[in-house]
Amino acid sequence: MCDRSGLSIAEVVRANEAALLDEASIDHRLDRLTAVMFDCIDRGMQTAGELPGGLEVKRRARALQARLKESESRNFKHSIPAMDYASMYAIAVNEENAAGGRMVMAPTNGAAGVIPAVLRYYREHCQDASTDGVRIFLLTSAAVGGLCKMNASISGAEVGCQGEVGVACSMAAAGLTAALGGSSRQIENAAEMGIEHHLGMTCDPIGGLVQIPCIEGNAFGAIKAINAASLALSGDGSHHVTLDQVIRTMRDTGADMQAKYKETSRGGLAVNVPDC
């Protein structure tokens, strides 16, 4: 469609939305999504305590933020700060999710932290980040999410967590690549890598809660998305595996996956970690 029309992926999605909404309404809705995502990150970074549910999981985002700020004030560099922040953003969102806070399903509850984290990474840590870039990010992400939902699944109960965090990673990778000026081929390459390297990922939460391993899984998904965007932007967009092929593989892998590894808490970590 992009080749035929001469439009970018974000422009194609915007044209589709414009069939029902005017341009101002589209921008308002995109900005509202961004505001809710960023508010969720901010609340998560400000709140300490223990998550409900009985697993006695302590919230970490606030302490992680304090540690990062202390390291910066002492000019102490032990890793890549932007990546540390991206992880912390994702953890903040998913702790809010686990506590019943308000967040954006992107594309699902269990994968809600990846896109907000990478979007915040873009705004806070990428040179020349802009409001238009944020909107391009979201529009492009929506295109990839739509393809995954229509041609495979975004449900952990159907295909495992590859359909949740894997798809979120793919969406975020595509969005970041687009916001940073990538071509349609580079965007597709980033999206394909995002899913490809989550293939076979199970959904086996301990106690049936979106806490372990879900919270950390979102942080890893965010980092993978940023890496996929970086790799895609370093190339010319040519790649062997297409996005369509990897989405089909995700669908087939999910169909082959045993039911106990798909959101039932009957296999994997859910049964191998004692609850005492």
Chain segment 160-188, per-residue pLDDT in tens:
999 999 999 999 999 999 999 999 999 99
**CA separation for the pair 100, 106 (Å, rounded):** 16
**CA separation for the pair 68, 56 (Å, rounded):** 24
Q: pLDDT-derived band of residue 265, with 50, 70 and 90 as boundaries?
A: confident
Residues 9-13, mean pLDDT to the nearest whole number: 98
| Mean pLDDT, the chain, whole residue set | 94
Of 211, 199, 270, 272, the C-alpha closest to 241 is 199
Q: What is the dihedral of CA 158, 191, 138, 225, to 10 degrees?
A: 90
76 pLDDT more than 70: no
**CA separation for the pair 202, 183 (Å, rounded):** 32
Residue 75: per-residue pLDDT: 65
Residues 67-85, mean pLDDT to the nearest whole number: 76
Residue 130: per-residue pLDDT: 97
Residue 77: per-residue pLDDT: 61
pTM above 0.85, yes or no: yes
Residues 17-33, mean pLDDT to the nearest whole number: 97
Residues 137-168 pLDDT 10s: 999 999 999 999 999 999 999 999 999 999 99
Which CATH number goes with the domain that contains 114? 1.10.4100
Domain of residue 37: give its range: 2-272
Domain count, the chain: 1
Residues 100-114 pLDDT 10s: 999 999 999 999 999
Residues 134-139, mean pLDDT to the nearest whole number: 98
3-state secondary structure the chain: CHHHHCCCHHHHHHHHHCCCCCHHHHHHHHHHHHHHHHHHHHHHHHCCCECCCCCCCECCHHHHHHHHHHHHHCCCCCCCHHHHHHHHHHHHHHHHHHCCCCCCCCCCCCCCCHHHHHHHHHHHHCCCCCHHHHHHHHHHHHHHHHHHHHHCCCCHHHHCHHHCHHHHHHHHHHHHHHHCCCCHHHHHHHHHHHHHCCCCCCECCHHHCCCCCHHHHHHHHHHHHHHHHHHHHHCCCCCCCCHHHHHHHHHHHHHHCCHHHECCCCCCHHHHCCCC
**CA separation for the pair 22, 5 (Å, rounded):** 20
Residue 78: per-residue pLDDT: 59
